[in-house]
Structure 1
Amino acid sequence: MNPGLLELAVVIPTFNERGNVPVLVAKLDQALRGRNWEAIFVDDDSPDGTAQAARELARVDFRVRVIQRIGRRGLSSACIEGMCATAAPLVAVIDGDLQHDETLLPKMMTALEADPKLDLVVGSRFVEGGGTGDWDRDRVAKSAFATRLARHVLKAELSDPMSGFFMIRTEIVRSLVPRLSAIGFKILLDIMTAAQRPLVFAELPYVFRLRTEGESKLDHVVAMEYLIALYDRMFGKVVPVRFAMFSAIGALGAGVHFAVLALLFRLGSMAFVSATIVATLVAMTFNFFLNNALTYRERRLKGWRQLLDGWVSFCVVCSVGAVANVGVAAFLHDARQGDWRVSAMAGIVVAAVWNFALSSRFTWGRYK
């Protein structure tokens, strides 16, 4: 072994993991003794100073590197940036929360070095010898359901497609980057479904550990992102995922529109045009906040100033659509004297295309 030849890069996506940084590096130092490696912390501008903690360590340990991302969020995209930032022939992804077993890394390296046909090695919780640690029954059931969904997309007998702990040949990742969606938290699923040929993989067992520092990143939005990632791989080429999300939220907004309109026009005896204007504004506000949380999550607006500015710009850039909405609905209602709901729906459809095109460019597009 050439003592100066870099063999492995360990990519560690982080958000609010300051206390785990030195502990993880110490564990990597022990596990990878005798190997030439580097640790690349890719931090999404953690408010707890995770990036600074990694930089302080990098001053005394040349193997530690830091990528601090400003204005960008997302585990998958962080992993992609880290994997493309190394010259090492092998790259591993491991969480910064110490729940993955770093002692498995040398075995992963050995497996890839011994078999040139092997593309990646996955740390699995669900093969013999692996385990989920202290997970309760509810979390185990949810993970099993998500795994079944993933297998339908993968079309491969991978026992743990939800794993965030794996090692892959760097050249393979680089070749796949243009086709990666970078959506959500499951970069392994993204890599395996983006490959034009089935990747040759092996699985090694490990037991998921209990978190001791920081806070869990699992929430309902993460679950939503997982479903979005699956949709993108199955149907994204037909209907882009962002447009699908915007349209789905628009459908919910239509429900809000109808509810407000019915309340004001049918029950409150307000004039149809006035009721339509109020319903349009309420639905627009609803759509803005939900799109900010989901559709544009990676560049969502934060703080009351940004939110107020974003809401105002959203209303302004969609004003043409809103005017068309009200105008078309009022015209059809007055001309046909038919079902008020049909008139309202016609106005919503006319406004939908304007809302997506203009808000993508002028509301969230300004905050890339």
Structure 2
Amino acid sequence: MPTEITVVIPTFNERENVRPIIDAIEHALGSISWEIIFVDDDSPDGTADHVQSIARDDPRIRCIKRVGRRGLSSACIEGILASSSPHVAVTDADMQHDEGILPDMLNALINENNDLVVGTRYLEGGSMGTLASDRVKISRIATWLGRLFLKTDISDPMSGFFIVRKEYFNKICNKLSVKGYKILLDILISSGKEIRVKEIPYVMRSRLRGESKLDTLVVWEYFMLIADKFFGRVIPPRFTLFIMVGAVGVGVHLSALFVLHKILLIDFMYSQATSTIIAMTSNFILNNIFTYRDMRLHGFQFFRGLLSFYIACSIGALLNILFAEFLFNQAVPWLLAGFLGAVIGSVWNYAINSTITWKE
């Protein structure tokens, strides 16, 4: 029997939820033919190994284990593209979504001629359940902001629970940003008015096992997605962040120089050299946390990346100086020469570090 629906489940440290969510989906779908694709970002808790052990006895279960790549949106995209069904659902592994409405969502997709059906918490019959008040506030603010950018009237663009026609997804997948953690919002913004959407309410459940992945940096990724969708073709948001971190680095450098030279009375040359290393280290750490969050380096790779960052930025500084001096010698005003030198150095640093240090 051909598979009618694929359920894509992105995972990171969700081993305890694998078996329960498989059983819940199987029960909910009943006689509907299905497959489940877990897309795991190399979970330390062995989520992928657990899925693969189940898959050996059940061919309806599949696992994509991603090494060196992270991000919920990109995981969902890979899972959807790998599906063999004409209809693909996306849900979280934490079982907070109500898989019981999957048959209704599938019916609305097929029989009501929709491209996308979304599980919503904000229509009558749906709610945020017993979710903590701070999580509710964050979700509502993000939802309100997301709706400002949409051309489609939808109550819950931040939902992580939806089903889409594979044929339609294939049409718009090249427009997707793959940044952030809200793939649905990305789909809606990329689709514009042409997409046919229906929402079905559900009550969000509390997580019973594992830990929530929502933190301040996930919210940061949400704003990165918004920026990328609307400004990414002009200036990549990642480059903007890289420059912002560099500006912070200037402050770190000057602060360190003041302490070393003026307070500790260390020779200027040694103070300047030490301040440069401190600032570069600070820039690397901040870029690793914010700018390249989805490719964050850990363990040995952190120190390898730090060394690579030192080398790349040292070359960038040299290019900055040489180019600015060349322009100045060509009678270019000193301020403009200095600015253009800094631009060349910044572009070099971003390009090389994105290619080598974080391997974008």
Both structures adopt the same fold (TM-score exceeding 0.5): yes
Amino acid at match of 1:353: V
Matches within 5 A, 1:185-264: 185-195=181-191, 197-264=193-260
Going from structure 1 to structure 2, the CA distance change for 1:89 and 1:64 (only over 3 Å counts) comes to same
**Could you tell me how far 1:294 is from its partner in structure 2?**
2.2
Would you say the 8 A contact 1:261–1:279 is kept in 2? Answer: yes
What is the aligned counterpart of 2:347 among 333, 343, 353? 353
Aligned residue in 1 for 2:51: 54
Aligned residue in 1 for 2:155: 159
SS at match of 1:71: coil
SS at match of 2:240: helix
**Could you tell me how far 1:346 is from its partner in structure 2?**
8.9
SS at match of 1:309: helix
What is the aligned counterpart of 1:146 among 137, 142, 148? 142
Amino acid at match of 2:353: S
Distance 1:263 1:156 in 2: 55
Are residues 1:100 and 2:97 paired? yes
Would you say the 8 A contact 2:260–2:266 is kept in 1? Answer: yes
Distance 2:125 2:40 in 1: 32
Aligned residue in 2 for 1:363: 357
SS at match of 1:283: helix
Matches within 5 A, 1:8-23: 8-23=5-20
What is the aligned counterpart of 1:300 among 293, 296, 299? 296
**Could you tell me how far 1:324 is from its partner in structure 2?**
5.7
Would you say the 8 A contact 2:8–2:89 is kept in 1? Answer: yes
Matches within 5 A, 1:120-135: 120-135=116-131
Moved more, 159-168 or 272-281: 272-281
Matches within 5 A, 1:24-103: 24-103=21-100
How many residues align structurally? 352
Distance 1:139 1:217 in 2: 12
**Could you tell me how far 1:266 is from its partner in structure 2?**
4.9
Going from structure 1 to structure 2, the CA distance change for 1:327 and 1:227 (only over 3 Å counts) comes to same
Are residues 1:316 and 2:338 paired? no
Amino acid at match of 2:73: S
Q: Deviations over 1:274-303 (max 9, x none)?
A: 443333221111111111122222222210
Distance 2:229 2:186 in 1: 8
Query: What is the aligned-residue identity percentage?
Result: 48
Distance 2:68 2:287 in 1: 17
Distance 1:269 1:49 in 2: 53
Would you say the 8 A contact 1:123–1:163 is kept in 2? Answer: yes
Are residues 1:282 and 2:259 paired? no
Amino acid at match of 2:83: T
Moved more, 104-113 or 152-161: 152-161
Distance 1:82 1:354 in 2: 34
Would you say the 8 A contact 2:320–2:341 is kept in 1? Answer: yes
Q: Deviations over 1:175-194 (max 9, x none)?
A: 11211111111000111111
Would you say the 8 A contact 2:151–2:192 is kept in 1? Answer: no
Taking structure 2 as the reference length, what is the TM-score of the superposition? Answer: 0.90
Would you say the 8 A contact 2:131–2:205 is kept in 1? Answer: no
**Could you tell me how far 1:206 is from its partner in structure 2?**
0.6
Would you say the 8 A contact 1:76–1:185 is kept in 2? Answer: yes
SS at match of 1:315: helix
Distance 1:157 1:15 in 2: 32
Amino acid at match of 2:49: Q
Going from structure 1 to structure 2, the CA distance change for 1:155 and 1:270 (only over 3 Å counts) comes to farther
Distance 1:355 1:255 in 2: 18
Q: Could you tell me which runs of 5 or more consecutive residues in structure 2 were left unpaired when the two chains were aligned.
A: 326-336
Distance 2:68 2:238 in 1: 19
**Could you tell me how far 1:362 is from its partner in structure 2?**
2.5
Distance 1:136 1:67 in 2: 32
Distance 1:284 1:324 in 2: 16
